[in-house]
Amino acid sequence: MSSLAHFIDGRRVAGNSGRVGDVFDPATGAVAARVALASRTEVRDAVESAKRAQPAWASVNPQRRARVLIKFLELVGREQEQLAELLSSEHGKTVADARGDIQRGLEVVEFCAGAPHLLKGGYTDAAGPGIDLYSMRQPLGVAAGITPFNFPAMIPMWMFAPAIACGNAFILKPSERDPSVPLRLAELMMEAGLPAGALNVVNGDREAVDALLDDADVKAVAFVGSSQIAEYVYARACAAGKRAQCFGAAKNHMVVMPDADMDGAADALIGAGYGSAGERCMAISVAVPVGEEAAQALLTRLVPRVESLKIGLPADASADLGPLVTKAHLDRVKDYVALGVDEGAKLVVDGRDFKMQGYEDGFFMGGCLFDEVTPRMRIYREEIFGPVLSVVRARNYEDALSLVSEHEYGNGAAIFTRDGGAARDFASRAQVGMIGVNVPIPTPLAYYTFGGWKRSAFGDLNQHGEDAFRFYTKTKTVTSRWPGGVREGASFVMPTMS
């Protein structure tokens, strides 16, 4: 059985806290590895390493920093298949889905290779009599990222790529459930030319998280996970004077208008609701057909599609979805399904009893489909994070829009329609951060920003895009006047451009 620990100061180091966590093979249910859980002392070692490396890294010009990212893209590209298989084996998502996880991370790295342009300041010649005015973006110092289990490649790259491109050093605390790919990504960054200490990885639990939040040398913290923990991380980081961006849970709706292509809408719901076993913050977990006719047409198409989902081993290229990440998470999702039945929702398709032949101890579950779900039910209000889709019937468009806008989470939403006016109105009025029009998972490309509203996000700036460069830098503005002009004597009034 393999042992996983940390990556500090350019090399893998063994843990010395005496505490370890189990890393499972979701397909078999067996423990595949054990990962060391960092103590505060080990976190401090990583911070010290980052603090030593950061000034020299910041002094490297942006173009040369970008070249390291370009080399990293090449190295990951060469190893992408092996990384996808490794990711799949620890997480449980299919290898094809794991490839997408890695690719979406690489697209942000590609964007960050444009750092020389994105870090340009502004300049105004002759802003006043003999006065020039200019601004510059400078790195914060040491930044940290706390990432979830569901995207062990993508979200770490979304965080460390812009931070490093901006001249910061970075400490990554990935999920202890699937830590192997983040460790390998750090090694590939060193191979690409990043100096030792500029990217460290510490594996751990709450002790490691709190150590990062409390450390005065960590100037910024990024987080993705549940809303409860996102709010905790945001509050504790802000109390310690840090910059913070924290992204939480979601309950993404897909409104299906009566004029929609029903077959296309059903296919979109199947992929968006059940892909990666529903373990995505952008998964569609609520279908909202508008009107009874649309509801019946949609259910008629959804039921056989859910019943025929192919659950298989992560390496099975024909599988639609694999197992969930852990037994504890599988039990949690099944408990939500039981709760929905108790609350009075109609369980149209029940996949709880699915067992994979030969892999009966694996964390497999079939797709579940609820109808007649109401906004009062917990299965509607709370994030389930599993292969469970709820149908909430809306009488009309305004009711559907209200469901989206009044939910406490505001990550993303979609509308399927042939009516341009309805689509335009929905995009304008829906109170969520990301909108899809006939697109079920509206995750923006790397040069736009990713982020939700309400309790799906804490902080002012989103992930990737230009917001990432704003988050990982501070702006300095310089007002300069050189000798040689007319001396005007002392002035005791507020300077203006008058």
What 8-state DSSP symbol labels residue 194? P
d(CA 418, CA 424): 11
Tell me how crowded residue 93 is: count the other CB atoms within 10 A of its CB. 31
d(CA 270, CA 345): 20
CA atoms within 13 A of residue 207's CA, in its CB half-sphere: 15
Q: In 3D, which of 114, 113, 86 has the Cα closest to residue 102? A: 86
d(CA 169, CA 86): 26
Tell me how crowded residue 387 is: count the other CB atoms within 10 A of its CB. 30
Q: Which two tokens stand for residue 140?
A: 């914060």
d(CA 446, CA 18): 40
Q: In 3D, which of 4, 52, 6, 5 has the Cα closest to residue 31? A: 4
Amino acid at 198: A
d(CA 42, CA 48): 10
Strand partners, 474: 138
d(CA 254, CA 438): 9
Q: Are 139 and 472 contacting, i.e. CB atoms less than 8 angstroms apart? A: yes
d(CA 157, CA 163): 10
Sequential DSSP letters for 67-129: HHHHHHHHHHHHHHHHHHHHHHHHH---HHHHHHHHHHHHHHHHHHTTHHHHT---EEEEEET
Q: Which residues are catalytic?
A: 281
d(CA 224, CA 374): 28
Residue with tokens 């490794």, as numbered in its chain: 86
Q: In 3D, which of 120, 171, 119 has the Cα closest to residue 141? A: 171
d(CA 439, CA 453): 19
Q: Which residues contact 377 (CB under 8 A, 6 or more apart)?
A: 340, 343, 344, 345
Q: Which residues contact 227 (CB under 8 A, 6 or more apart)?
A: 248, 249, 383, 409, 455, 456
d(CA 168, CA 452): 25
Amino acid at 345: A
Residue with tokens 């350019």, as numbered in its chain: 10
